[in-house]
Structure 1
Amino acid sequence: MAKHKGPTTLHMDPALVRYNNMWINRHKHFRWTPRSAWLTLVYCVLVPIPLGIAGYMTDGKWNMRGKRKGDLISEY
């Protein structure tokens, strides 16, 4: 494909350029605060543990394969 060789006519919005630079360099300015520590704890520990327990407790209780109208999905 042909490439335009002249100066670009697209002018970048300065606010979008600053936002993009902030997004790219976010890891350089990250700081552990009580809020960031709490959110990390919640999303890495307190959410997966109940989901794992619920999945383990309901494992094998329902069988959705090969059921017809009127058949029960519970195995117990």
Structure 2
Amino acid sequence: MTTNRHKYFRWTPRTAWLTFAYVIVVPATLGVAGYMVEGKWDMRGKRRGDLISEF
């Protein structure tokens, strides 16, 4: 059945929601989270006692 899954696939509300979630929601959430923390931490050249955050 796994090898022939494409033959038996149907668009149902559940499969449409799962597709939307994995194609739109998950990448958008990761993108927004990445954009929010961009440049906040500088891990290079730090010594003991230095702060990681730049803000």
* TM-score class, shorter: 0.7 to 0.9
User: Mapping of 1:15-30 within 5 angstroms?
Assistant: 22-30=1-9
Q: Larger % of helix: which?
A: 2
User: Unaligned 5+ residue runs, structure 1?
Assistant: 1-21
TM score, norm. by length of structure 2: 0.85
User: Once the two structures are superposed, what CA deviation does each residue of 1:13-42 show, in whole Å capped at 9, x if it has no partner?
Assistant: xxxxxxxxx111111111111100001111
CA radius of gyration, larger in: 1
Percent of pairs identical after alignment?
69
RMSD over equivalenced CA pairs, Å: 1.1
**Structure 1 residue 43: Cα displacement:** 1.1
Superposition misfits of 4+ residues, deviation over 3 angstroms: none
User: Unaligned 5+ residue runs, structure 2?
Assistant: none
TM score, norm. by length of structure 1: 0.65
